[in-house]
Structure 1
């Protein structure tokens, strides 16, 4: 090797080494980032599934009020639910006044726990937003999906809640409508009673293989 060219050769070799190391380092960082993303995705998935599996009905509450920020988050979750033809035929009445909460407890014999709760949200169907004709009753599914989203959001934020039914009981719907002075276009599907839990019951195991069929149902 010509000694005069030796520094040039060394520089080229060093440059190649630097490039190779850089590629390996970048590849390693990409692999680490990909692994971290995968782990984060798994953790997020598990968090969602755990929130669903551990949610249970709460009927006893602490005296402290529910923050406005959490109420809005529950309502946003509710209105993120699927809805037939995107009609969004729902309306939510938020109740945090003690006299109205007590009146709702009298309106529904199965909702006496409202007397201890700081908050209730009545989920209504709005007849002015419903699908016309044969699809009208899809509002029940839409409002039910919204209610489940609300329950899961409440649980995720450390709140306790319970779904108490109204529709199709005409007596309950009329009593709730009267207590809240609801306009005639609003049909109360249910009342979700909400507060910070003063009890911590274990969720029921409801998964049953016999309730599942694949492709066809065979007895």
Structure 2
């Protein structure tokens, strides 16, 4: 519960590199996500190249903070042709992204979910930067690194949004 209750969106990072074993842990967490019919529509680009990160940060007006990250993970959806439940692929992807965010928190890293899908212009921009194959759709950008400052999570619990029957 600590990772869930203490997770914050981090948009500013130190220059410290993220260790390979931590990157693997993040990706393992992503691939442990639930998936409709176990279709696992995900693949992940692990981007450390500064020029590519700069280009990714320009793909959305809300992605500028990615430029300061030493690492950007880009979850992408494979072609939906062979999926049992293609309409659920974005839900599967969301679960994978959340697992990355929680694992980052647990590892002492900071991360933030920057939406790409479903905005066509953003999807195409990321596709151009990463030279994605036909049928592969960019879903999000996840800048990851060591936070440059400590942030406290806010308690978002709101009992007025609970309806008991």
Q: Does 1:155 align with 2:105?
A: yes
Which ranges of 4 or more aligned residues in structure 1 deviate by more than 4 Å?
none
Tell me the residue number matched to 1:173: 123
| Distance across 2 between alignment mates of 1:60 and 1:88 | 31
Q: Which has the larger radius of gyration?
A: 1
| Distance across 1 between alignment mates of 2:109 and 2:81 | 30
- Match among 101, 107, 132 for residue 182 of structure 1: 132
- Contact conserved, 2:8 with 2:153, CA < 8 A, in 1? yes
Offset, 1:203: 1.1
- Contact conserved, 1:78 with 1:150, CA < 8 A, in 2? yes
Q: What is the RMSD computed on CA atoms of the aligned residues?
A: 1.3
Unaligned runs of 5+ in 1: 1-48
| Distance across 2 between alignment mates of 1:141 and 1:98 | 30
Offset, 1:188: 1.1
Offset, 1:128: 4.4
Highest RCO, 1 vs 2 (Cα 8 Å, sep ≥ 6): 2
TM-score normalised to structure 2 length: 0.95
TM-score normalised to structure 1 length: 0.72
Unaligned runs of 5+ in 2: none
| Distance across 1 between alignment mates of 2:17 and 2:117 | 27
**CA deviation map 1:90-110 (0-9, x unaligned):** 111110100100000111211
Offset, 1:130: 5.4
- Contact conserved, 1:87 with 1:129, CA < 8 A, in 2? no
| Distance across 2 between alignment mates of 1:51 and 1:89 | 25
* Larger helix share, 1 or 2: 1
